[in-house]
Structure 1
Amino acid sequence: MKTLNALIGATALAALSLFSASAGAAGYPERQITMVVPFAAGGPTDTVARLVAESMSKDLGQQIVVENVGGAGGTLGAGRVAKAQADGYTILLHHIGMATSATLYRKLAYDTLKDFDYVGLVTDVPMTIVARKDMEATDLKGLVDYAKANKDKVTVANAGIGAASHLCGMLFMSSIQTPLVTVPYKGTGPAMTDLLGGQVDIMCDQTTNTTKQIQGGTIKAYAVTSAERLDVLKDLPTVKEAGMPDMSVGIWHGVYVPKGTPKEATEKLTKSLKVALKDQNVAARFAELGTKPSSDSDATPEALKAKLEGEIARWKPVIQAAGQYAD
């Protein structure tokens, strides 16, 4: 009898918990939401996150506060969200590193495909291949020839292992089949500062970080990795036009929540993301940075899940060939 009573009690408690979670999700959001950005403030991903968070806050009627949890190529911030309470009040905005970290890091505190649910894709930012202002090469073919002829001394800067610039740098070396001297920094800012000062030779980074410098003539640009030329950089050829179609790549961003987040909460976040991506201010600011908001069909859990799975498969051989792993 005691066993039966205990079983009934446990069942009732479980049902009550399920009802409470469902009721809470129905009124979601009832308080402030934290959007974790796994990189330093002021960087390209942080810029995207703050624009989207501001617009989503207006739509949801609750503030979304961006919290920068940098370190370990974005894995510290992602790990924090993976272990957060699955209630919709802690969300993650991450870029392509969400996919590459699955191979890049030998030990992760989370399972990339099992510990998250999906909200939707945000944007796909093109990359630019740039160099110090006084680089001898005048076009991409010349840059490749120069890099191959001086492979032991040509330096390729990046913002740290797992950063977009690191990934693009690996792809560049893979495309030209030549290993170069990689120089990692603790963030995009220091890497760009040394490129501007001529202390390093080459960098491949997002338009959100390079457009102003290219327009100002403080660095030399060779190509953009998008399929078409950008309105803000009309004179810059695409990698395909410049003879390197294998370098076609974008740094896509997506929003995630911890696994098990109530469906009602995830659906509200997806709906709000779509509203934000149609915000004229967001679209205008994205355009200034050389990118554009994701479409309605891409700003969905299904599209983000498919993108993540496909990108893990795409980048695995590139990372393995480069042999640049992190513990």
Structure 2
Amino acid sequence: MKKLLLAAVAALTATAALAEYPEKPVTIVVPFAAGGPTDKVARDLAEALRKPLGATIIIENVGGAGGTLGHTKVAKAANDGYTLLLAHIGMSTAPALYRNLQYKTLDDFEYLGMVNEVPMTLIGRSTLPANNFAELVKWMEANKGKINLANAGLGAASHLCGLLFQQSMKVDMTTVPYKGTGPAMTDLLGGQVDLMCDQTTNTTGQIESGKVKAFAVTTTKRLSTPALAKLPTLEESGVKGFNVTIWHGMYAPKGTPKPVLDKVNAALKVALKDPDFIKRQEALGAVVITDNRTNGADHKKFVEAEINKWGPIIKAAGQYAD
């Protein structure tokens, strides 16, 4: 009888605590340095989340190892709802890229929902003789073994897009990894490398200024952004099935109580409809998610499909990090 009474008291106490969540600031871990695209998304989202969640939100940048250090920190954090993760497509590519992960992507997190998708563009140095995708294909065929493809480093969006592009085109290129998008773009502008596939957040300004040549977008539909609206998709250009976006999602440590997850998910859905948040994301070239992937279970299914998509591509390329 005493044990039953203690269990009942404990259950009531836990219920009361959950009802009062959040009682203190909530930390969102960003697995990259401050100032980058993911950090920007997180800070914009934090602003939109504060009111519906009813909490002060702190952004903590935990960079390193392609984002996996930040992922690990949250996977091992207390599962009380006060430590969350905002991560990008790296959640789905890390299992293939890193052999010694300290967490399991599908088992060690609670999935809260997807936030946005960022399109990508295929661009080239301004001195390339090709002026459209058809001409680019002819140029690539005539220059097999001589083409340099830049990326921002192992696991970066540009690296993943480049891998898929090479596989789809069946053209071997010399992959040139850099320590970030900045140096990669600098060499592309200087003509030291030929091509790069990167997020609109990094390429739109260069395209608008005419400093690079743009050949296509990686989405299944053309973009509405004025500077990119005339660019064809790779799909319509003949590269069937090509669809790459850099998405962001939110996660909590495994075992976080369902009432807490429900509160955070409800607040997330409100935040994703915030006009200011939508406007800020559109300025980055990002599309805010409005479909069922804002639900935790549906986002998890999406991530699992992404793992199955990228795993074979990465393994076929033989590009790993220990």
- Tell me the TM-score normalized by structure 2: 0.92
Q: CA deviation at 1:161?
A: 1.2
Task: Name the residue aligned to 1:106.
Answer: 99
Task: Give the 3 Å change call, closer, same or farther, for CA 239–39 of structure 1 in structure 2.
Answer: same
Task: Name the residue aligned to 1:219.
Answer: 212
Task: Name the residue aligned to 1:267.
Answer: 262
Task: Name the residue aligned to 1:160.
Answer: 153
Of 220, 224, 231 in structure 1, the residue corresponding to residue 224 of structure 2 is 231
* 1:53–1:64 CA contact under 8 A, matched in 2: yes
Is 1:199 matched up with 2:196? no
Is 1:144 matched up with 2:100? no
Deviations 1:84-114 (A, max 9, x none): 1111111111111111111121110101111
> How far apart, in 2, do the equivalents of 1:108 and 1:17 lie?
36
Is 1:187 matched up with 2:180? yes
Task: Give the 3 Å change call, closer, same or farther, for CA 15–194 of structure 1 in structure 2.
Answer: farther
> How far apart, in 1, do the equivalents of 2:267 and 2:186 lie?
36
> How far apart, in 1, do the equivalents of 2:212 and 2:204 lie?
10
How do residues 72-91 of structure 1 correspond to structure 2 at under 5 angstroms? Answer: 72-91=65-84
* 2:92–2:306 CA contact under 8 A, matched in 1: yes
Q: CA deviation at 1:151?
A: 4.2
* 2:219–2:242 CA contact under 8 A, matched in 1: no
Q: CA deviation at 1:184?
A: 1.8
Look up the equivalent residue of 2:232 and give its one-letter code: P
Q: CA deviation at 1:16?
A: 5.9
- Tell me the TM-score normalized by structure 1: 0.90
Task: Give the 3 Å change call, closer, same or farther, for CA 57–244 of structure 1 in structure 2.
Answer: same
> How far apart, in 1, do the equivalents of 2:57 and 2:167 lie?
39
Task: Give the 3 Å change call, closer, same or farther, for CA 243–90 of structure 1 in structure 2.
Answer: same
Of 38, 63, 67 in structure 2, the residue corresponding to residue 70 of structure 1 is 63
Task: Name the residue aligned to 1:304.
Answer: 299
Is 1:287 matched up with 2:290? no
* 1:211–1:289 CA contact under 8 A, matched in 2: no
Structure 1 residues without counterparts, runs of 5 or longer: none
> How far apart, in 1, do the equivalents of 2:130 and 2:108 lie?
46
> How far apart, in 2, do the equivalents of 1:32 and 1:190 lie?
37
Of 278, 302, 322 in structure 1, the residue corresponding to residue 317 of structure 2 is 322
Task: Give the 3 Å change call, closer, same or farther, for CA 243–33 of structure 1 in structure 2.
Answer: same
The 3-state SS of whatever aligns with 2:15 is helix
Look up the equivalent residue of 2:126 and give its one-letter code: K
Of 9, 18, 29 in structure 1, the residue corresponding to residue 22 of structure 2 is 29
* 1:125–1:252 CA contact under 8 A, matched in 2: yes
Aligned-residue RMSD, C-alpha: 2.2
Is 1:116 matched up with 2:109? yes
Task: Give the 3 Å change call, closer, same or farther, for CA 35–288 of structure 1 in structure 2.
Answer: same
> How far apart, in 1, do the equivalents of 2:102 and 2:242 lie?
31
Look up the equivalent residue of 2:52 and give its one-letter code: D
Q: Which moved more, 1:237-246 or 1:75-84?
A: 237-246
Q: CA deviation at 1:14?
A: 6.9
Q: CA deviation at 1:142?
A: 2.8
Deviations 1:134-175 (A, max 9, x none): 222212233334334434342222222111111111101111
Task: Give the 3 Å change call, closer, same or farther, for CA 85–231 of structure 1 in structure 2.
Answer: same
Deviations 1:198-224 (A, max 9, x none): 332211111122222222222211111
Task: Give the 3 Å change call, closer, same or farther, for CA 15–156 of structure 1 in structure 2.
Answer: farther
Q: CA deviation at 1:247?
A: 2.3
Q: Which moved more, 1:307-316 or 1:16-25?
A: 16-25
Report how many aligned residue pairs link the two structures: 320
> How far apart, in 1, do the equivalents of 2:14 and 2:172 lie?
53
How do residues 8-47 of structure 1 correspond to structure 2 at under 5 angstroms? Answer: 8=3, 19-47=12-40
> How far apart, in 1, do the equivalents of 2:291 and 2:31 lie?
25
Task: Name the residue aligned to 2:253.
Answer: 258
* 1:43–1:188 CA contact under 8 A, matched in 2: no
> How far apart, in 2, do the equivalents of 1:171 and 1:312 lie?
14
Q: CA deviation at 1:277?
A: 0.9
Is 1:97 matched up with 2:57? no
